[in-house]
Structure formats: C-alpha cells, structure tokens
C-alpha cells in the first residue's frame, strides 16, 4: 500500500496525473478501506479538471472520516470552481470548525463572504 501511495504522490508532484490515478486506482482496488488513497486520487482528478470523480473520492473519504479537513477543503475548492460560492463557503466554514487557523481556508472564506454576502460599505 505504501509503495502505491508513494508512487501516486510522486506522480502528482511531477504533474503526471494520469499515472497517479493509475497507481491510486490500483491501491483502492486492493485496499478499498484505505481512505488516504481516495484523498490523494481526488487531488489528481481535481488537477486534471475531473471534478465529478474528485467529488466521488472526497465523498468516500468523508464517509469514513467526516472531520477530514483536507477532503473538505478540496470539496470547497471544487465547489468554488463550479461557481457555487454559497456551498463552497459553507464547506470552508466547516473546515475552520475543525482547523480554525488554516491560512488558505481563512483567505477563501474572506473572499467568498464578499461574493456571497456582498461588500460592506
């Protein structure tokens, strides 16, 4: 499991997302309860612009661990890219309940609050 996970992570770092997905798919096929494989594969799908499969994998992660702030943050990013700022903001706020000092999520919340709630005068 560790070898396939490492190969998938290395392929993502090298921006070889299709190869990463191959390794991580082999891993989830052999270890379907290993949620980290789904989380990393979701990242590869996201980087390829394949939001549907990314959200499916994030869903698998959250089924096992609803407090997985990395998966939630990924879901927020996808929802933001899909032009669903209200849903993205809701998800980012959930992330901050778990990890209140995550800088990129704090920035996203501030950015989306301006979009969703309007600019304060």
| Prediction pTM value | 0.91
Query: How far, in Å, CA of 65 to CA of 117, rounded?
Result: 30
Q: According to the model, what pLDDT value does residue 106 have?
A: 96
Contact status, residue 80 vs residue 91, Cβ threshold 8 Å: no
Tens-digit pLDDT profile for residues 57-77: 999 999 999 999 999 999 999
Residue with more model confidence, 118 or 91: 91
Query: How far, in Å, CA of 84 to CA of 11, rounded?
Result: 30
Q: Which residue ranges make up each domain of the chain?
A: 1-65, 68-121
Domain 1-65 is found in CATH 1.25.40.10 = yes
What are the φ and ψ backbone dihedral angles of 78, each rounded to 5 degrees? -65, -45
């Amino acid at each position: 499991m560790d070898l396939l996970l490492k190969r998938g992570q290395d392929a993502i770092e090298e921006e070889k997302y299709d190869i990463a997905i191959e390794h991580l798919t082999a891993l989830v096929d052999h270890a379907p309860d290993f949620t980290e494989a789904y989380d990393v594969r979701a990242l590869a799908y996201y980087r390829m612009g394949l939001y549907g499969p990314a959200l499916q994998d994030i869903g698998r992660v959250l089924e096992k661990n609803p407090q997985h702030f990395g998966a939630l943050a990924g879901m927020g990013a996808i929802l933001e890219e899909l032009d669903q700022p209200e849903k993205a903001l809701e998800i980012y706020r959930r992330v901050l309940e778990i990890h209140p000092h995550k800088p990129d999520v704090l920035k996203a919340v501030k950015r989306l609050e301006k979009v969703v709630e309007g600019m304060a005068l």
